[in-house]
Amino acid sequence: MTENAKPVLRFAPSPTGMLHIGGARTALFNWLYARHSGGKFLLRIEDTDRERSTPQAVAAILNGMRWMGLDWDGDEIYQFARAARHREVAEQLLAKGRAYRCYATPEELTEMREAQKRESKPLRYDGRWRNRDPKEAPPGAPFAVRLKAEDSGETIVHDLVLGDVRFANDTLDDMVLLRSDGTPTYMLAVVVDDHDMGVTHVIRGADHLNNAARQLQIITAMGWPIPAYGHLPLINGPDGAKLSKRHGALAVEAYRDMGYLSETMRNYLLRLGWSHGDEEIISTAQAIEWFNFESMGKSAARMDFKKLDNLNGHYIRSTSDDVLVAEITAFLERQTPPRILSDKARRRLLTAMPALKERAKTVVELIQSAEFLFTDGIRDLDEAAAKLLTPEARATLTATLPVLEATDWSGAALEAAARAHAEATGLKLGQVAQPLRAALTGKGISPPLFEMLALLGREESLVRLRAYAG
């Protein structure tokens, strides 16, 4: 990287499945650094594995990125489309004498590995064509192109997260760059693409650390500038074991569907492996300002769902009411079949939101607590409401009805009337209010009752209340 050049970062997922949270965290860190430094954040879809890459997975990754709010600069780049360029670089390495043709047949290579196994030697290509004259190969025989790797000394990965990691070169064999069918390997494609895209920082999961040593050898052989590397420690499940399907949700979409906000996910994933003093709540704007590689954790991070819930509660409370209504609307529209809220329901939701959002930890909980606002008509009772509506409570409800019917339908007037009625009949306000709440909302708890009566209006409220009187 030259002195004044802006950093270029990239996220390079293989489209073989959803965007899982490990990948989302990698994307987030790259994005944060790009936005922090005024550099670029590029997206490269590594679809070279034709058997395992699917258009559905590409779509899932793009959607996951969009939902996470991780916008990339320019169009996404598809690796498979660049295969000709990858081959060209392999040819250049051949021409420079930094790669060679290997005519070993698959059978021969299997035999070589079997022998290594028998002798308990490490399994690696033994360089049998490294110094052999290609003329010795049978005419027209298929060949792979292999890198002529350094065979002594060491390769050092100067890692932003892990520090210097050393690899003895005699443990790195002459890897294949082009297979005998002419297709480039992943190892070659990554290096060529990163170079051509001007990538200055390669930030990715620690599972790629060994690849970095191999990729460095290709970079050096080409005489290209070496990017900065940062390998992020893995994310473990709550039990400390490597995060896997067993731990439930892995795809970011699953978190969306459980009702987490994307701002919560950004904050949560940031804290999985990065810290700024004791700060737990770090808004995205603040994260962009603070982000650096020095504060990365070296050890594996552990998922903590309780923390995630608390964080989400915080972001729900601090999100504006209209944005939350939009979140809920979108959430319901994603259901199968989609649920479409009427304008009336949306207006009610907006009015009730300041009260609703105080209690909810997830969008799902928000929806559950707002359900009584979405449609008109008599409510089904949840367990708590059914328990509240004893014959006695119903009698109280019946006696309260005429009082409400005679009242001006505003929150304050309804509350005053209910209080006066409670006093006159020797009841506590709660004894009058709870049956009303149960009938009005179908629930044992709700936002402030008198406000909700006013919000639903005289006619609609009375329909609901009368249904459980008697």
Judged by the rule CB under 6 A, the positions of this chain that interact with ligand GLU are 12-14, 46, 190, 204, 208
Minimum CB distance to ligand GLU, residue 31 (Å): 14
- C-beta of residue 252 within 8 angstroms of C-beta of residue 266: no
CA-angle at 206, arms to 165 and 268, nearest 5°: 130
- C-beta of residue 65 within 8 angstroms of C-beta of residue 28: no
96 counts as catalytic:
no
Tell me which DSSP letter residue 238 carries. T
Tell me which DSSP letter residue 336 carries. S
Minimum CB distance to ligand GLU, residue 22 (Å): 9
Minimum CB distance to ligand GLU, residue 201 (Å): 11
46 vs 174 by CB, closer to ligand GLU: 46
- Tell me the backbone φ, ψ of residue 363, rounded to 5 degrees: -65, -35
How far from 353 is each of 331, 372, 410, CA to CA, in Å?
16, 13, 18
13 vs 435 by CB, closer to ligand GLU: 13
193 vs 327 by CB, closer to ligand GLU: 193
Parallel, antiparallel or unpaired: strands 228-232 and 201-205 = parallel
Minimum CB distance to ligand GLU, residue 34 (Å): 15
227 vs 313 by CB, closer to ligand GLU: 227
CA 413 to CA 389: how far, in whole Å? 24
Minimum CB distance to ligand GLU, residue 66 (Å): 18
Minimum CB distance to ligand GLU, residue 14 (Å): 4
- Closest residue to ligand GLU in the complex (CB): 204
230 vs 259 by CB, closer to ligand GLU: 230
Minimum CB distance to ligand GLU, residue 318 (Å): 34
Cα of 312 vs its chain's centroid, Å: 14
| Helix (H) and strand (E) counts in the chain | 19, 12
The Cβ of residue 127 has, within 10 Å, a number of other Cβ atoms equal to: 16
> 373-411 burial, b for 16+ CB within 10 Å, e for fewer?
bbeeeebebbeebeebbeeebbebbeebbebbeebebee
175 vs 308 by CB, closer to ligand GLU: 175
CA 254 to CA 142: how far, in whole Å? 46
Angle between helices 209-222 and 186-196 (to 10 degrees): 60
Catalytic residue, chosen from 40, 121, 148, 245, is 245
- C-beta of residue 317 within 8 angstroms of C-beta of residue 363: no
- Tell me the backbone φ, ψ of residue 296, rounded to 5 degrees: -80, 140
Cα of 78 vs its chain's centroid, Å: 21
26 vs 312 by CB, closer to ligand GLU: 26
Catalogue the active-site residues.
245
